[in-house]
Amino acid sequence: MSFFKILNIGFSNIVMVERVVSIINADSAAGRRLRSEAKSNELLVDATNGRKTRSVIITDSKHLILSSLKVESLSKRVEKQDNLIQAEEEVED
């Protein structure tokens, strides 16, 4: 039986770690440009649950997934293979 490594990107949304190419800051110029291109090509997935977008996850299928968690929080989850939700990560805005 094989196990898939998953990344909890907030609010019970998950992404397969194998499919993630990059995680970038949503406020960067590249993040804003990629977001607008993905939206026009219908490749944008909004997983922020109505919160502020803090990171953009780029997948190998060219989909962009928006998350309300910080890049640092997501990278820690990938590095430690720990998807436990810290209290400060999913705060109400």
**Distance from C-alpha of 32 to C-alpha of 37, rounded to nearest angstrom:** 9
Taking only the tens of pLDDT, the chain with its 93 residues reads: 568 899 999 998 999 999 999 999 999 999 999 999 999 999 999 999 999 999 999 999 999 999 999 999 999 999 988 777 665 566 554
Whole-number pLDDT of residue 42: 98
What's the pTM value of the predicted model, to 2 decimals? 0.86
Instruction: Parse the chain into domains and list their residue ranges.
Output: 20-80
* C-beta separation of 41 from 61 below 8 A: no
**Distance from C-alpha of 67 to C-alpha of 55, rounded to nearest angstrom:** 5
Whole-number pLDDT of residue 93: 47
Q: How far is CA 36 from CA 67, 73, 90, in A?
A: 15, 24, 25
